[in-house]
Amino acid sequence: MKKITFICISMILMYTSCSKPGCTDPDASNYDSSAKEMDNSCLYDLEGEWNLTSFILNGQESSSLYSVYRFTFYQDGSYYAEALPASGNNGQGGDWIDVWGISTLNSDQTTITLQNQSVDYYNGSGTISNSDYANYNISNLDYNNITIELISSSNPSISSLTISMYRD
């Protein structure tokens, strides 16, 4: 009887040690080499350049509106976004749109806030102050890809927005 109990306990211990949950992605900042089972707890550094793969504005796929659309996130929490409309006209008398701001990522990387500080429409006015903001749910994030979905925004003309990007 003791032998059967010992074998049962040994099997339980072996099973639980083999299925240790944790972050199994070596590209994550919290990678756990001893983890054997992915538990979706991976955290990623957003620092770097991210390029548009999909832009769904108010329910319409709108990626083709841009020749270039990219974000660069910096270690200090600031960001730089630049867009070149495919038409070559940004609607403000210029071509490119450059935006500088501050990003705030919550600790479990499920939401991000982008708070603009300034914008340049390349129309001769130079860089102007801009305080638009947007709060997003992060629906997908790994080292190479991010998808964010709008929660709220200071822009009343945007009812929904989903942006997918890849790391360059």
Query: Residue 21: beta bridge partners?
Result: 37
Which sequence spans correspond to the domains of the chain? 2-38, 48-167
The pTM is what? 0.84
Average pLDDT for 151-163:
97
pLDDT of residue 17: 52
Average pLDDT for 18-47:
90
- Residues whose CB is less than 8 angstroms from the CB of residue 10 and which lie 6 or more positions away in sequence, other chains included: none
Average pLDDT for 123-152:
96
- The CATH architecture that domain 48-167 belongs to is Beta Barrel (2.40)
Q: Give the length of the chain.
A: 168
Tell me the C-alpha to C-alpha distance, in Å, between residue 43 and each of 61, 135, 142. 29, 19, 8
Full 3-state SS string of the chain:
CHHHHHHHHHHHHHHHHHCCEECCCCCCCCCCCCCCEECCCCCCCCCEEEEEEEEEECCEECHHHEEEEEEEECCCCEEEEEEEECCCCCCCCCCCEEEEEEEEECCCCCEEEEEEEEEECCCCCCEEECCCEEEEEEEEECCCEEEEEEEEECCCCCCCEEEEEEEC
Residue 168 has pLDDT above 60, yes or no: yes
Average pLDDT for 130-150:
97
The region of weakest confidence among 18-27, 54-63, 85-94, 136-145 is 18-27
pLDDT of residue 4: 61
Average pLDDT for 112-133:
96
In contact, 134 and 154? CB cutoff 8 Å: yes
pLDDT digit string, tens, across residues 55-106: 999 999 999 999 999 999 999 999 999 999 999 999 999 999 999 999 999 9
